Structure 1
Amino acid sequence: MSKTSTTGEVRLRKALRSYDVFFLSVTGMVGSGWLFAEFGSLPYAGPASILSWVVAGVFFFVIGLCFAELGGILPFTGSLVRYNHYSHGALSNFLLGWAYIIAAATTPPLEAEAILTYAHSYIPGVYNATTGVLTPLGIVLALALMAVFTVIQYIGVNVYGTVNTVVTAWKLIIPILTAILLLLFTFHPSNFSLKGGFLPFGPASIFVALVPSGIAFAVEGFRQGLEYSGETRNPQRDVPLGLVMAMIVVIALYIVLQISMIGALNWSNLKLTPGDWGNLSNSSWAASPFYHALISYANPVLSAFAIVILIDAAVSPAATLGVYVGTTARSLYGFSRLKYFPKIFGNLNPRFQTPTFSLILTFIIGAIFLIPFPSWYSLVGISASFTVYNYLAAGITNHVFRRVAPNLKRPFDPKLRLPLYFIGFLVGSLIIYWSGWSIVNPMFVTVAAALPLFVVGYNSKLSLKRSTLVAFVAAYWVSIAIIGVFDFLNLAPFPYYWAAYSLLLILSTYFLYSKTKLSEIKAASWIVAYNIIVGVISYYGSLGIGAISSFTTRDPVRKGGELTINTNKIKKIGDVP
């Protein structure tokens, strides 16, 4: 295909096929998640974490079907920050896209942390096993890894796509072999019926485990194939086919891996009482679970394969790191194409046809997240929740397209489409709620805080006077900063804090609409209402402040065989539902 259009504008090279989309999606789903999440879920749900994977698989499969339809209709690079623009306008799409950019930008540092956390077994000084975080040397090496893959993405997607296909084949083979070996040599059925039985923390723990353990983070990676939609040869066929097949294969793999991990737990090596699920997160296995599971039995076959695991612990996260560097850069590219960001972020290198300045900014954003969160477990819930917030767009965007453009060509046309759209939106909202107030609160504030960026970037269409623009931006950021400080320092009860937050969103949106009369400003009112309502539900619900942490205590308070939420840790007015 020609490198340029008839107008001389540089185009992205269309070099990928359906199997590339499959492998890109698999790469996004089989990275550090498989190395940590199977073990990380156990302190939250015990053996019932198997059901957490099933729930995550079903939920994200529904969302994936919605995105598969969109991927066939609008095969754009940077697609996940562009879809909603065509159904709900610029403001709604910007806020959803901003959440996604934050989520994507946190993934390269997450994968770099995973590589170095496992590597502490043979590279001394990169990880502090006592505190569970990278050392200063580890942080420097993580930044170096991110820089290397930024250069690889700069060279071009056709080069990376070829390399990624080979690497992803490896990434599938190693987890499969790991599960087989653990099931053959270390499987203990009794681990599924220890203290508290199969559901040691009750049914609620199945859902609570989804976000903080890394399960949602692992499964939600299917989106990578969508991000490269504009670079596929036949996007209407390749994108839906590659996406759906990747989800089926990987979800099945994760369920088998979870079963093998539970069966392989060696409680004497862990130095824990059998069934002490809550303290697994404090054990020596937490830093490199599958490696320790293999070497703990002194079996020569397993010990030899443990070396392969260490190799894979570098290869799998590295491949995912590379994909997400491209994902974030292409999202910034998409924002630029929609005129949300300066034009420079949409410029492509004439030789490699990659968004140079977007790649540079991607590295900078990743570094900003890496330094204050130098641990995989501390960053994974943040990344997952911001991603799911963006996924709310899938169902509502498809619904609008069906209503206003029913004759659009839809290569992937699911049956029972309207219920599918509703369920996709519902399950996304449930996952956000299950993230807990400790994540929902800063996420909603961070999304809202980006509004002035939109006003400045999109002012060519908003047409606000310079004085009005400056006054609005200054007043808004000062207001949200004051609100945030009052909440952080606990200077105001929740009703006053959330009322101030809600009032700021409502008045700001009304002000922009009254000044511009643009329907796309009015169309974003659903996000304002959504944040306000879900925030209240999250705070007063059973997963309010401190609730999730109570699932991992040494001696959970039990009532009727189930975990009782520690309401003493929940700031509340009235009873917790």
Structure 2
Amino acid sequence: MPRGRLRREGGMIGLLYASLGAIIGSGWLFGPLHAAQQAGPLSLGSWAVGAGAILLLALVYAELGPMIPRSGSIVHISHVGNGPMLGRIWSWILFFSYVSIAPVEVTAVLTYANNYLPGFLRGSSGLLSNRGFVAAVLLLGVFVLLNFLVIRWVLLLNSAATWWKLIIPAATVFVLMSLSWHPENLRLQHPHGDLQGMFTAVASAGVIFSFFGFRQAIDLAGESRNPGRNIPIAVIGSVLIGAVLYEGLQLAFLVAVSPADLAQGGWQHLDFPGLTGPFAALATAVGATWWGVLLYADALVSPAGTAFIYTTSAARITMATGEMGSGPRWLARLNGRGVPWLSLLVVYGVGSLFFFPFPSWQKLVGYISSVTVLSYSLGPVVLLQLRRAMPQEPRPFRLWAAPVLAPMAFIVANWIIFWAGLATLTFTFVALTLLLAVYLLFHYVLQDAQDREALGWRHVWWVFPYFALLWLCSYLGPASLGGKDWIPFFGDMGIIAVLSLAVLWAALRFAVADDEMVRYVKELNEVPPTAP
């Protein structure tokens, strides 16, 4: 079986467009409607909160990424500070986070396509029909097949799609605001138009989901010619460009809606009967039928392009789990073109399963918002650990005021997980518990004693009370998020902030020795992971 090497063929623009192409996907097609339904005009604040939260995390990873410039480096980073067991757990979180996003984008493509090719959805439920499920599995397979190209062609295809994906949303803002301008809509508050709706929309309306793509540049670091320069520019630049675009789209959506459509049920009950694409429906309603037709075409390009690039990064994350022993070693095998082909097949098989329990766009988004932000939350911990262990190590990008901004990023990440709701959090933690049980069964019962490695329980114990208390806060929290309503929304946020600081202290206090961290990072950087 041929074993190749990854190719360093990704430039700064390629990495920037990889992140930006992942950010501009199905989120802009559906997010503004769902955000308006949950928060009314305060949905503008939802996008600002989401962008600010992701920018905090992006700044953290802009420093971490170049320190371990390997493809799938997020997996490697998770093994740095608290031993192999934590690395295993976070590798699983990362795997499910990445492998589930392409199915979201495929679902978005079929949701829009259902308008002119009926039969993909079950009535008005938004759920995939049997025909829709088959189409989804086949379409996901197409993106996997395209990823068998060498990385240079993958990035070129993505860059071409990203130009289209930038132009169409920006032009949509202009078209809607020039044809329909109702600023009085901004004074029509949501029936529950308080700050709670603004915050919960961040997690459950697709707001935070829309910004997740910033990490694509980090995932492809091992295939970049100059990761120290390219990664920070791509990560930070993609978030800033995406934030400006999404704020413009949300404003255009709010002021373009006819006041007559809001007269009956307000923002909460805003709907476009018979049409499953809110922007295309809105364009048609304001007299721009021609633009609505173009938006239906873009509804294939935008989410399809995002599904394509997420398939690329998901394969790299899966490959890294094989390299680190969190998954089977054969996941790290490359073909002669430097493509992790076995990982691509695993991404396809597992990704197809996500069409079963979450067969609609918004259901998938709720789950992914929780599990992906949970995967992000380890970054601030590792950043502070490496600052302590390697204070003089040269850093291409150095986060200003890291002792303040890193804890803030950790708190914000836990807030977003909380905003996703109890049901999503329960599903995530139950799945992780089952995975851990299976792994421990294999490790302690089925594996020979001489083959077992030390898992470092002393360094990882804090994760279990962290997850349990985070779930308990959600369980006792507001009824609007599925809780018992024993703790008010903002009181719960305060408790989670204190919990976050306590967890951060424990993670730093029980980290592996500094010299062990230094040795680990140097070993990763000494072994050339790519072809020149």
Q: Same fold (TM over 0.5)?
A: yes
Shift of 1:452: 3.7
Partner residue, 1:295: 284
Shift of 1:384: 1.3
Shift of 1:453: 4.8
Q: Which has the larger radius of gyration?
A: 1
Partner residue, 2:480: 547
Query: Separation in 2 of the partners of 1:200 and 1:165?
Result: 41
Per-residue deviation, residues 30-52 of structure 1 (Å, max 9, x unmatched): 00001000111112111100000
Query: Separation in 2 of the partners of 1:10 and 1:390?
Result: 29
Output the amino acid matched with 2:309: V
**8 Å Cα contact 1:106/1:366 also seen in 2:** yes
Per-residue deviation, residues 379-413 of structure 1 (Å, max 9, x unmatched): 11101110000011110001100111222221001
2:205 aligned to 213, 237, 255, which one? Answer: 213
Partner residue, 1:318: 304
Q: 3-state DSSP class of the match of 2:4?
A: coil
Partner residue, 2:246: 254
Shift of 1:93: 2.0
Query: Separation in 2 of the partners of 1:390 and 1:574?
Result: 26
Output the amino acid matched with 1:312: D
Output the amino acid matched with 2:205: S
Query: Separation in 2 of the partners of 1:278 and 1:319?
Result: 31
Partner residue, 2:391: 406
Aligned CA-pair RMSD: 2.2
Partner residue, 1:236: 228
**8 Å Cα contact 1:67/1:394 also seen in 2:** yes
Per-residue deviation, residues 431-480 of structure 1 (Å, max 9, x unmatched): 111112121122122222221454477x5xxxx464798xxxxxxxxxxx
Shift of 1:100: 1.9
Per-residue deviation, residues 201-238 of structure 1 (Å, max 9, x unmatched): 21111111111111110012211111111110011111
Is 1:331 the equivalent of 2:317?
yes
**8 Å Cα contact 1:182/1:264 also seen in 2:** yes
Q: Which has the higher contact order (CA 8 A, sep 6+)?
A: 2
Partner residue, 2:295: 309
Partner residue, 1:91: 85
Shift of 1:540: 1.0
Query: Separation in 2 of the partners of 1:525 and 1:261?
Result: 47
Query: Separation in 2 of the partners of 1:82 and 1:47?
Result: 41
Per-residue deviation, residues 493-532 of structure 1 (Å, max 9, x unmatched): xxxxxxxxxxxxxxxxxxxxxx9765x3221122112112
Output the amino acid matched with 1:227: D
1:263 aligned to 252, 255, 259, which one? Answer: 255
Aligned residues: 487
Matching of residues 463-542 of structure 1 within 5 Å? 464=444, 466=446, 520-542=456-478
Shift of 1:155: 2.0
Per-residue deviation, residues 182-207 of structure 1 (Å, max 9, x unmatched): 1111121111112xx37852111111
Output the amino acid matched with 2:294: V
Is 1:17 the equivalent of 2:11?
yes
Matching of residues 145-294 of structure 1 within 5 Å? 145-194=139-188, 197=189, 200-268=192-260, 270=261, 273=263, 276-280=266-270, 283-284=272-273, 287-294=276-283
Output the amino acid matched with 1:413: R
**8 Å Cα contact 2:477/2:488 also seen in 1:** no
**8 Å Cα contact 2:319/2:343 also seen in 1:** yes
**8 Å Cα contact 1:116/1:142 also seen in 2:** yes
Q: 3-state DSSP class of the match of 1:59?
A: helix
Partner residue, 1:340: 326
Per-residue deviation, residues 416-435 of structure 1 (Å, max 9, x unmatched): 11111111111101111111
**8 Å Cα contact 1:191/1:262 also seen in 2:** yes
Ranges in structure 2 where 5+ consecutive residues have no aligned partner:
492-532
Shift of 1:285: 7.4
Partner residue, 2:515: none
Matching of residues 133-152 of structure 1 within 5 Å? 133-152=127-146
Query: Separation in 1 of the partners of 2:411 and 2:207?
Result: 18
Task: Report the more deviating stretch, 95-104 or 332-341.
Answer: 95-104
Output the amino acid matched with 2:110: L
Output the amino acid matched with 2:480: A
Identity of aligned residues (%): 29
**8 Å Cα contact 2:477/2:484 also seen in 1:** no
Ranges in structure 1 where 5+ consecutive residues have no aligned partner:
1-7, 470-514, 549-568
**Normalising by the residue count of structure 1, what TM-score does the alignment of the two structures yield?**
0.80
Q: 3-state DSSP class of the match of 1:133?
A: coil
**8 Å Cα contact 1:37/1:215 also seen in 2:** yes
Is 1:439 the equivalent of 2:433?
no
Matching of residues 27-176 of structure 1 within 5 Å? 27-176=21-170
Shift of 1:97: 2.3
